[in-house]
Amino acid sequence: MTRETLLPRSAYPWWQPIVTRWSDNDAYGHVNNAIYYHWFDTAVNNWLIAAGLLDVAHGDPIGLVVETRCRYARSITYPEPVEIGMVLDRLGTSSVTYRLGAFVADGTEAAAEALFTHVCVDRVTRRPVPLPGTWRDRLETLAPVAPKISDPW
């Protein structure tokens, strides 16, 4: 994996700051790979809440994570502050895929990049339902500002 294959900072229209913790580092002296998934989940859910699309206790429909993947290009270590960038990767009938980049604060190259897919489901039945129009409208604000870069995934 080389850093050149990851999206640049300029590709991400929305940002979530993250504070690293001492306990995020593993025995190898860098943030453990599993912690990145916490960061990505936090970023997506904070955006959904801010956009008025996620009511954790009563919202219907809800998004269930059905797929995640991550590629790593460099280590992050405590106490480096982190920023997670988020851009819309794909908008389907009942699903949405976000592309997220983990950057050291003010860094220009991503340390890691993830794809994170939600399927929109009925809260009670857990069966897929089409994304409501309000969701589509708000999700489209995360659309890339430039044409999609060829996908190395």
- The single residue listed with the structure tokens 């809440």 is 49
State whether residue 135 is helix, strand or coil: helix
- pLDDT reading at 129 higher than 80: yes
Of 22, 151, 47, 31, nearest to 102 by C-alpha is 31
pLDDT tens column, 31-87: 999 999 999 999 999 999 999 999 999 999 999 999 999 999 999 999 999 999 999
Where residue 145 falls among pLDDT bands split at 50, 70, 90?
Answer: confident
The domain locations on the chain are: 3-142
pLDDT tens column, 36-49: 999 999 999 999 99
In CATH terms, the superfamily for domain 3-142 is Hotdog Thioesterase (3.10.129.10)
